[in-house]
Chain A
Amino acid sequence: MSHDHDHDHDNQLDPMTARVRALETILVQKGLIDPAAVDAIIETYESKVGPRNGAKVVAKAWSDPEYAEWLKRDATAAIASLGFTGRQGEHMQAVFNTEDTHNLVVCTLCSCYPWPVLGLPPVWYKSPAYRSRAVIDPRSVLEEFGVRLPPETRIRVWDSTAELRYLVVPLRPRGSDGLDESQLAELVTRDCMIGTGLPLEPVSP
């Protein structure tokens, strides 16, 4: 199993590599952590858990009104029914965009994010620029993502200050009537489930 130590044969490690390596060495020597467990954690979030999970939830909500109702009422259970549970998704809330309201999710205090449905957050979500401005001037944040909403569209910002994790369910795109769930899931971007994007438009045949 690879530990992905990029500089095993270098004499000069960059400072952060050296610092993490030292800490991991100490913890392994003391028996506090198992390096194989560290590998398994990394592997999970690098290649198993990501936003395609959330896309399946949204696509199902778009195509199954009963599921959408369940998701609205008890998102944790509705999402768990598709197999997506666990760390940083213990308590889920789905928030639905409407014709007149657009939802945007942020964590101004750290970087709370629904890992089981979206994977680990992107760098920008964790950055001071996003965390500071999303609550005070979300319209300019959206414009930096290329999303220009009509001025009358209400913006609802959800600051994840507790252990509830939010999933935005965007409006189903026009012209997607004939698509099945897996085709619909292809239209669901990671950003549209945070609120910094809109779903893709279906490609005309």
Chain B
Amino acid sequence: MNGPQDLGGQMGFGPILPEANEPVFHAGWEKRAFGVTLAASATGAWNIDEGRHARESLHPADYYSSSYYEIWLKGLESLLERHGFVSADELKAGRMLSKGAVPKRVLKAADVAAGLARGGPCDRPVAAPARFKPGDRVRTRNFHPKEHTRLPRYARGRSGTIEAVRGGFVFPDSNAHGRGENPQWLYTVVFDGREIWGEGSDPTLTVSIDAWESYLEPA
């Protein structure tokens, strides 16, 4: 979706502000928000793509005025409500009012290390052969779905070159909406800076994205 998350090429956000001391977390609540989000996602009720979509679905004014872990927390609250685990009344009351949906599983402390080390690989076999090969010229489709996609706006309707075929990967555009993993071939596509940004672009610049096959057409 053309949401507030799709930031590539936007202007006006000011200088980048590296910190001198760089704490991993900047407040006690940030680390709880981080840990609770990962622990809750381990229930398996939603996948990473649905999680990303929950965050990008925040109102743009809310997204841009929220800190990073605020965005995480607001996304988590909406996922928990959507899946029947927590109600809006409970979030307001700050305590359980009724039991709610039962999770498939609950992450125990003893399983954290192994679970994090395992992660969630999302490569999958694809039955059909890859449509493109390295060196092929392709054009990204120009679409503006209201649902989740991982094709950024700046890279739509642009010509580039396939650099690598990365294998089959879960397709986020369907997986985010409970319509299955539908794995597709994934390609690294390289664009000349001028193809994307036009006149005035740094002549040495190339930008690449990792694009699913259905994002691409032969150029």
Which residues of the partner chain B approach A21 to less than 8 Å between Cβ atoms?
Answer: 29, 32, 94
What's the tally of chain A residues with a CB closer than 8 Å to chain B? 80
Interface-side segment among A40-48, A56-64, A176-184 = A40-48
Query: Is there a chain B Cβ closer than 8 Å to A22's Cβ?
Result: yes
* Complex Cα gap A25–B94 (Å): 7
Contact of A85 (CB < 8 Å), options: B17, B40, B80, B117: B117
Q: Chain A interface mostly helix, strand, loop or mixed?
A: mixed
| A:114-141 near B, CB below 8 Å | 119-120, 122-124, 126-133, 135-139, 141
Query: Is there a chain B Cβ closer than 8 Å to A17's Cβ?
Result: yes
Which residues of the partner chain A approach B77 to less than 8 Å between Cβ atoms?
Answer: 23
Contact A37/B107 with A90-B119, A123-B19, A164-B166 known, Cβ cut-off 8 Å: yes
* Complex Cα gap A38–B116 (Å): 12
Hey, what's the 0/1 contact readout for B29-51 against A, CB within 8 Å counting as 1? Answer: 10111111011101100000000
What's the tally of chain B residues with a CB closer than 8 Å to chain A? 92
Contact of B32 (CB < 8 Å), options: A30, A38, A111, A158: A38
Query: Is there a chain A Cβ closer than 8 Å to B212's Cβ?
Result: yes
* Complex Cα gap A178–B43 (Å): 50
Contact A154/B206 with A5-B28, A41-B116 known, Cβ cut-off 8 Å: yes
* Complex Cα gap A40–B96 (Å): 24
Contact of B208 (CB < 8 Å), options: A27, A46, A124, A158: A158
| A:17-36 near B, CB below 8 Å | 17-27, 29-34, 36
Task: Closest B residue to A150 by CB, please name it.
Answer: B204
Determine how close the nearest CB of chain B comes to the CB of A51; give it in whole angstroms. Answer: 10
Contact of B43 (CB < 8 Å), options: A7, A26, A32, A39: A32
Which residues of the partner chain B approach A126 to less than 8 Å between Cβ atoms?
Answer: 68
Hey, what's the 0/1 contact readout for B74-112 against A, CB within 8 Å counting as 1? Answer: 001100100001100011011110011001001111011
In the complex, are the beta carbons of B5 and A129 less than 8 A apart? no
Which residues of the partner chain B approach A23 to less than 8 Å between Cβ atoms?
Answer: 36, 73, 76-77, 80, 86, 91
Contact of B40 (CB < 8 Å), options: A6, A27, A120, A160: A27
Determine how close the nearest CB of chain B comes to the CB of A185; give it in whole angstroms. Answer: 19
Contact of A132 (CB < 8 Å), options: B13, B99, B122, B123: B13
Task: Closest B residue to A95 by CB, please name it.
Answer: B208
Task: Closest B residue to A102 by CB, please name it.
Answer: B204
Contact A87/B109 with A108-B7, A124-B16 known, Cβ cut-off 8 Å: no
In the complex, are the beta carbons of B210 and A33 less than 8 A apart? no
Contact A26/B86 with A4-B28, A33-B106, A129-B17 known, Cβ cut-off 8 Å: yes
Query: Is there a chain A Cβ closer than 8 Å to B157's Cβ?
Result: no
Which residues of the partner chain A approach B186 to less than 8 Å between Cβ atoms?
Answer: 162, 164
Query: Is there a chain A Cβ closer than 8 Å to B128's Cβ?
Result: no
Query: Is there a chain B Cβ closer than 8 Å to A89's Cβ?
Result: yes
In the complex, are the beta carbons of A108 and B95 less than 8 A apart? no
* Complex Cα gap A80–B113 (Å): 15
In the complex, are the beta carbons of B210 and A90 less than 8 A apart? no
Which residues of the partner chain B approach A30 to less than 8 Å between Cβ atoms?
Answer: 85-86, 96, 99-100
| B:205-219 near A, CB below 8 Å | 205-212
* Complex Cα gap A136–B94 (Å): 44
11 CB-based A-B contacts, threshold 8 Å: A20-B36, A22-B95, A42-B25, A86-B117, A108-B9, A120-B24, A129-B17, A132-B8, A133-B13, A144-B16, A155-B202
